Amino acid sequence: MAEAGWDEEVDVLVVGSGAGGMTAAIAAADAHGRVLVIEKSNEYGGTSATSGGGIWIPNSPLGKIEGLEDSEEDAFSYIRPQSAPNVPDSLIRAYIRRAPEMLAWLHEKTPVRYTSVAYPDYHVEYPGGKLGYRTHLPMPFDGRRLGKEILGLRAPSPAASLFGIINWRFDETYTLLFRPKGWPKALAKMLWRYGSDVPHRFRSIKDRHLTLGNALIGGLRLALKERKVPIWLETGLVELVREGDRVTGAVIEYKGRRKRIQVRRGLILAAGGFERNSALREKHLPGSSDPTMSGSQINNTGDTIVAAQKIGAGLRNMQSTWSAPVFRVPGEERARLSTIDRALPGCIIVNQAGKRYMNEAASYHVVGRKIVENDRSGASTQPSWVIFDSVFRHKYPMGPLLPLVPDALQAKGVRKLMRKADTAEALAEAIGVPANALAATLTRFNADAERGVDSEFDRGGPAYDRMYGDARVQPNPTLAPIAKPPFYAFPIYGGDIGTNGGIVTDEDARVLDEQDRAIGGLYAVGNNAASVMGESYPGAGVTLGPAMAFGYVAGRHAMGVNG
């Protein structure tokens, strides 16, 4: 029973229903805590639900099954030079040590299942970098197991589903992308799988075949359901209540009504970053303050970071994001992340002076930063232009621009963005770049493409580049000439998929104040916390991996389970 002055009393209150928050709630519940999860939107899952669901786990037990030779020292040697200097060694080592433990626990205690994949680290050139099996992807999950709870699950992003509705697996993405022999049958199978799910099909457009981030969140939601841990939707944090050196509760707004929640053991902040808050973007981030530059979902406005700062929490690396090149389609509330398309052979990215300025096939974090960092008068990169020809247009997608679909039948917003011309000179005029500069850029690139060596930026040299190339194109799967008219251009921007600076925490995920002293009873995980990776992005899954690992740590530590 809640004490006088409090409306409710729990052992652990988790703010945010993404993967980090849900993992924390499950861990606390398994330690016999009375747990409540609150979520300010009307859907659960946060940005995690819209993501690929990947987690980066070094020295993983699943990776070892695949033959990965890894160690804690290899992982530390890899992360340390990439992470920011102000990130302590102890925090990096805590993640490396606890992440494999979290993954083993997850498989033992929840319905979530991961598989280790041959996905190279983004920067294998660093000591300790690996060519695969540190990144893990979630296995598909049967959403029927959730019952009516499926209706509250946040949908995947438009770029992570077919037609923005039908969930696909990673292998299905490649089948539709490269269209090998038999691909129509694979497409028909996907359509049948979705359409034949009756009577659910008459109730909702949500796909109950959950994949990627939806599979992860679906499994975690079922685990919470089995433990009778409630999630209150449309419930936001108003302020934290601190008494002396400890947080004892929170004021929340539950469907328009304020409540005071007493917290006996721990309050865990797991509500994402601040990328959708224009004022905070203006104050902290380089580049645009426009929230639609972000591919993140719209609820990440930094409320919890501001609330923590008000009671003395320290902040770190607030200028940093998980950077990304993005497409901005009119009428869509979030930008679309560009991952595979810009690495495919037969396209380049140029600035408004008509020149290339980077390796287009590098990781999205690197490319996103390059776009922002190279923006200058006379050679602006916001936007830059992706240039390709009719061969590419027929074979591959470019962001929301779909192959095989005639130009006239593309979505209205896509048609509005696309530029098309019969000559490179006319295309230059259409996008406002110097024709002679664009012609020279294409001449040099086409000559390099014929040889299979990018003499300017070594595109296709690193292992990561080639993973997203077309293996049918040799000698370099990321290079092909841009020579057959008509020619196309599509605007691309330097944006993000979230912020990764935030609240300072220690190896137990406890929030530290500005003098590096722990604030009792307060924890932060995921993009609420300053990332253990600093300003770097070492591999696929370094966002969710630490969120879940430190969520696991926070939930247990709050309940007095150490180690």
Question: How far apart are the C-alpha atoms of 55 and 415, rounded to whole Å?
Answer: 35
Q: Is residue 310 part of a domain?
A: no
**Whether the model pTM is above 0.85:** yes
- Contact 83/309 with Cβ under 8 angstroms? no
Tell me which amino acid residue 126 is. Y
pLDDT of 42 reads 96
Q: 549 is written with which tokens?
A: 């690992």
Burial (CB count <10 Å: 0-12, 13-18, 19+), residue 104: middle
Is residue 315 one of the residues assigned to a domain?
Answer: no
Output the CA angle 156-162-163, nearest 5 degrees: 95
Distance CA 439, CA 348 (A): 13
Residues of the chain with pLDDT under 70: 1
In a domain, 61, yes or no: no
Q: What is the DSSP string of 2-68?
A: PPTT-SEEEEEEEE--SHHHHHHHHHHHHTT--EEEE-SSSSBSHHHHHS---EE-TT-HHHHHTT-
Contact 557, 346 (CB under 8 A): no
Q: Rg of the chain over CA atoms, in angstroms?
A: 24
* Beta pairing, strands 8-15 & 35-38: parallel
Backbone angles phi, psi at 434, to 5 degrees: -60, 125
Distance CA 216, CA 219 (A): 5
- Note the pLDDT of residue 161: 85
Angle at alpha carbon of residue 559, lines to 554 and 561, rounded to 5°: 80
Please give the span between the terminal C-alpha atoms of the chain, in angstroms, as a whole number: 30
Q: Of 142, 152, 156, 153, which Cα lies nearest the Cα of 212?
A: 156
Is residue 345 included in any domain, yes or no? yes
pLDDT tens digits, one per residue of 434-446: 999 999 999 999 9
CA distances to 64, 123, 135, 363 from 131, in Å = 13, 9, 10, 14
- Name the β-bridge partners of 347: 388
2 within domain boundaries:
no
**Burial environment of residue 149 by CB neighbours within 10 A (0 to 12, 13 to 18, 19 or more):** middle
How many independent structural domains does the chain possess? 1
Q: Is 353 helix (H, G, I), strand (E, B) or coil?
A: coil
Q: Residue 344: give the domain boundaries.
A: 336-495
**In sequence order, what DSSP letters do the residues of 425-487 get, joined into one string?**
HHHHHHHT--HHHHHHHHHHHHHHHHHT--TTT-TT-SHHHHHTS-TTS-S-TT-----SSSE
- CA nearest 480: which of 392, 404, 349, 402? 392
DSSP of 99-140? HHHHHHHHHHHSS--EEE-----TTTTSTT--SSSSEEEEPP
Is residue 299 a part of any domain in this protein? no
Nearest to 325 by CA among 160, 211, 490: 490
In this predicted model, what pLDDT tens digit does every residue of 326-347 receive, in sequence order? 999 998 889 999 999 999 999 9
Residue 473 domain-assigned? yes
Instruction: Classify the C-alpha dihedral 19-21-24-25 as positive or negative.
Output: negative
Residue 366, domain member (yes or no): yes
CATH of the domain at 384: 3.90.700.10
